Amino acid sequence: MVDLSIAQHNASTTPPPVCWRNGQIVPLEQATVSVFDHGLLYGDGVFEGIRFYKGRAFRLQAHLERLFLSARAIALSIPYSIEQLTQAVVETISAAPEINGYLRLVVTRGPGPLGIDPSRCHSPVVFIVADRLQLVSERVRSEGAKVIIAATRRLGADGLDPRIKSLNYLNHILARMEASHAGADEAILLNSAGRIAEGSADNIFIVQRGELLTPPVIEGALDGITRQAVLELAEKLSIKAREIPLAPYDLFTADECFLTGTGAELIPVGYADGRKIPECPGPIYSQLLAAFRELVNSEK
C-alpha cells in the first residue's frame, strides 16, 4: 500500500513540519487545538491541500477561493481575508525546511460547548502546516497503481455537496482501508447510483479510443485543482476531453486510466479490480504529465 496523496513525516529522518496558527509561526508544541474544538469533535470545518514547488505555492488563489466557497457553504466565517491568507502561506513556505513540499490549510469552527450547535462557537481556528511529501514509488510510476472499487459509497450531492472540501472524510478513510486490506494502492468510490465518483483522495480520468473522460462534479467528484489543470492542458494539446458519467464497466474497459490530486499530481493506473489496463503508462497520460510539469515550472 502506498499513500498517493498526503504528506508524510518521519522525525528520525526528515526535518520537522512547520505550523502557522492564527497569525504567526508557532513551535510544534504550541500547534494545538482545544479538545472542545468542533473541528475535532464533529468534523466541522474546511481545508485545502496545497503543493509548493521551489518555494512557491501552485495555483494558490484557486485553492483559497475554493476554501472560502467551502466555508461560505457551511456558514463558517474565516477571520482572515484571501490577501491575509496568501501572506500567511508565503510566511509558512519561507519557514519550511525544504523548498518543495505540501501545505495543509485548515479552518475549524473553533472551541465551543459539547453539542453540534455551531452558533455557540465564536472563535474559528486557522492553521497551516508545511511538511514534506512521500514521493510515489518508482514501481507505481512505471507499472501503475492498483485500484479497487470500494464497497463504501461516496456521499451523494443531495447529502453533502462534493464541492465542499470539509473535514468529514470518514467515507474516504473507510474506502482507503478497503484498498489496504485488498493489497491495492487506492480505492475508487461509486455514488449511490453505482457510477464512478472519485478516488479516496484523488480524481480519476480514463481514456477510451483517444478521448479523455472524467466524472462531472455532480456525480460526486471533488472539483480538484489538478483535475482542472489537466482539463485545461488537454484543451491546449487538442486532446478531446469530456466530463461524463462513468460506470465501473468504463473503467474496466479503458485503454488508459490515471489519478490526479494535489499530492499525487498524475499517477497512472495499471490494474482495476484485478483487470489490467492495456496502456500503462499510456501515451495520453505521458503527454499530459509532461505538460503538467512544464506548467508547474512556468506558473509564477
Domain boundaries, the chain: 18-131, 138-298
Instruction: Give residue 138's pLDDT.
Output: 80
| Residue 77 Cα distances to 46, 63, 80, 126, angstroms | 11, 17, 9, 11
pTM of the shown model: 0.90
Marked catalytic residue, from 165, 236, 276, 300: 165
Pick the CATH number of 18-131 from 3.30.420.40, 3.30.470.10, 3.40.250.10, 3.10.129.10: 3.30.470.10
**Dihedral over alpha carbons 165, 169, 174, 176 (to 10 degrees):** 50
Phi, psi of 279 (to 5 degrees): -115, 105
Instruction: Give residue 14's pLDDT.
Output: 66
pLDDT per residue rounded down to tens, the chain (300 residues):
445 544 444 545 567 889 999 999 998 888 999 999 999 999 999 999 999 999 999 999 999 999 999 999 999 999 999 999 999 999 999 999 899 999 999 999 999 999 999 999 999 999 999 998 777 778 888 889 999 999 999 987 778 888 999 999 999 999 999 999 999 999 999 999 999 999 999 999 999 999 999 999 999 998 999 999 999 999 999 999 999 999 999 999 999 999 999 988 999 999 999 999 999 999 999 999 999 999 999 986
Domain 138-298 has CATH 3.20.10.10: yes
Contacts of 29 (CB under 8 A, 6+ apart): none
Cell of 16: 520537522
How far apart CA 234 and CA 211 sit, in angstroms, is 10
Q: What angle do the packed helices 60-73 and 82-95 form, to 10 degrees?
A: 130
Helix (H) and strand (E) counts for the chain? Answer: 8, 15
Residues 231 and 217: beta-carbon distance below 8 Å? no
Instruction: Give residue 2's pLDDT.
Output: 46
Q: Please confirm, yes or no, whether 54 is among the known catalytic residues.
A: no
H/E stretch holding 104 reads strand 101-108
DSSP state of 79: S
How far apart CA 210 and CA 118 sit, in angstroms, is 49
